[in-house]
């Protein structure tokens, strides 16, 4: 049953994260930052990318905002949770995920800390939860007993759906009757139109394509549920990396903050052109076709600065999922100490 499956997923994820933390702190096996000898700070930062897209940290490097710090691409990530677990296990130095996944990993004991927001939702960049135009589903209560396609369980989409249902007056028992079904994003529109699911979660180019085809309507959106623009995911660094490489950490985090403001203030066509240039230069046999659908950076806060509410807004969902039992201690979750951006980003100097 869906409720049992979700609970099992959550328990397994927490157990896995706890196991990771025990490995990190066990005898003789503590992870260490790749720092140079004689106290020298590292100047190469390992990260995972995503195919056909450009991460903020990659934009920061290309625009010259990282100074003498270089990025080392390790591989492409399969998901946000996998990205931040790679940081926790010292396979990479920086990674990002949905806030709930970040909290879950830290609450399980992993030695990482959020340092900057890197994605969010606004009036141009958001996720919609779509039904067919003629669907009888009109309200949250109509979702009881229905199937909702999501990309994965226990992450952004589940948190939004759970919050929407709770805000609409459904009881915990009624919420459990809304069936969340994992469907690959590229297959969601087809699954919706073939009536394999009742609701499809769509964002980005997949949302644009479905709307262009017609015959679907948004039942609700994540921006609508939250009540306006919001930040939804953070980059994390390991605590030992921050301690051993404070200047490098400040350079990287501040560089990302500058990249956020560059994307926010630069004409859309120029941002897309920069993405195309970066993808062409890195030579990974990728497509730039979907870049034309980019609309905005999505990050709500100036320079990606973190706030308590970025984490506490998910507290009710996390409690209902059994991930936390009491109030969140936000002090252990994040720090803005490495984000030095207080004024608009300086003019970009692209690398050639």
Task: State the average pLDDT for the chain.
Answer: 87
The model's confidence at residue 308, banded by pLDDT at 50, 70 and 90, is very high
Kindly provide the residue ranges of all beta strands, DSSP E only, lying in the chain, ordered along the sequence. 44-49, 70-76, 94-98, 112-121, 127-132, 147-150, 179-182, 199-203, 216-221, 230-238
Q: Which residue has the tokens 């960049």?
A: 125
Evaluate if residue 83 carries a pLDDT over 60. Answer: yes
Task: Classify residue 232 as exposed, middle or buried by CB count within 10 Å of its CB (0-12, 13-18, 19+).
Answer: buried
Q: What is the mean pLDDT of residues 195-214?
A: 92
Output Rg (C-alpha) for the chain, integer angstroms: 20
Instruction: Tell me which fold the domain 2-122+229-332 belongs to.
Output: D-Maltodextrin-Binding Protein; domain 2 (3.40.190)
Task: Between 39 and 139, name the one with better pLDDT.
Answer: 139
The model's confidence at residue 342, banded by pLDDT at 50, 70 and 90, is confident
The model's confidence at residue 348, banded by pLDDT at 50, 70 and 90, is low
Q: What is the mean pLDDT of residues 174-199?
A: 95
Q: Percentage of the chain with pLDDT > 90?
A: 71
Specify the pTM: 0.80
Q: What is the mean pLDDT of residues 225-233?
A: 93
127-226: same fold as 2-122+229-332?
A: yes
* Predicted pLDDT of residue 345: 53
Determine phi and psi for 221, rounding to 5 degrees. Answer: -130, 160
Domains of the chain: which residue ranges? 2-122+229-332, 127-226
* Predicted pLDDT of residue 20: 43
* Predicted pLDDT of residue 344: 53
The model's confidence at residue 343, banded by pLDDT at 50, 70 and 90, is low
Domain 127-226 in CATH 3.40.640.10? The answer is no
Residue 86: strand, helix, or coil: helix
Task: Between 186 and 38, name the one with better pLDDT.
Answer: 186
């Amino acid at each position: 049953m869906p409720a049992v499956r979700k609970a099992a997923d959550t328990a397994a994820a927490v157990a896995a994260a706890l196991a990771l933390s025990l490995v990190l702190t066990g005898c003789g096996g503590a992870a260490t930052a790749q720092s140079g000898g004689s106290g020298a700070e590292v100047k190469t930062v390992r990260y995972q990318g995503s195919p056909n897209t450009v991460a903020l940290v990659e934009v920061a490097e290309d625009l010259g905002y990282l100074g003498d710090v270089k990025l080392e691409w390790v591989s492409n990530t399969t998901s946000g949770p996998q990205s931040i677990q790679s940081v926790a296990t010292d396979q990479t130095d920086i990674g990002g995920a949905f806030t709930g996944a970040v909290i879950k990993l830290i609450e399980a004991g992993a030695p990482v800390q959020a340092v900057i927001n890197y994605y969010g939702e606004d009036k141009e960049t958001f996720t919609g939860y779509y039904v067919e135009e003629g669907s009888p589903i009109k309200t949250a209560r109509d979702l009881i007993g229905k199937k909702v396609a999501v990309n994965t369980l226990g992450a952004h989409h589940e948190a939004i759906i759970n919050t929407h249902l709770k805000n609409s007056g459904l009881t915990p028992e009624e919420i459990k009757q809304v069936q969340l079904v994992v469907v690959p994003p590229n297959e969601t529109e087809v699954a919706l139109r073939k009536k394999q699911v009742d609701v499809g979660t769509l964002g980005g180019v997949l949302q644009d394509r479905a709307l262009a085809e017609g015959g679907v309507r948004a039942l609700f959106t994540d921006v609508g549920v939250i009540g306006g623009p919001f930040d939804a995911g953070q980059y994390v660094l390991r605590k030992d990396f921050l301690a051993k490489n404070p200047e490098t950490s400040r350079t990287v985090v501040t560089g990302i903050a500058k990249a956020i403001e560059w994307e926010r203030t630069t004409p859309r066509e120029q941002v897309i052109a920069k993405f195309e240039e970066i993808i062409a230069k890195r030579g990974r046999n990728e497509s730039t076709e979907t870049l034309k659908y980019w609309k905005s950076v999505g990050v709500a806060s100036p320079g990606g600065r973190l706030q308590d509410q970025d984490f506490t807004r998910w507290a009710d969902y996390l409690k209902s999922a059994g991930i936390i039992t009491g109030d969140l201690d936000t002090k252990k979750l994040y720090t803005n100490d490495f984000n030095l951006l207080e004024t608009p980003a300086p003019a970009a100097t692209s690398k050639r």
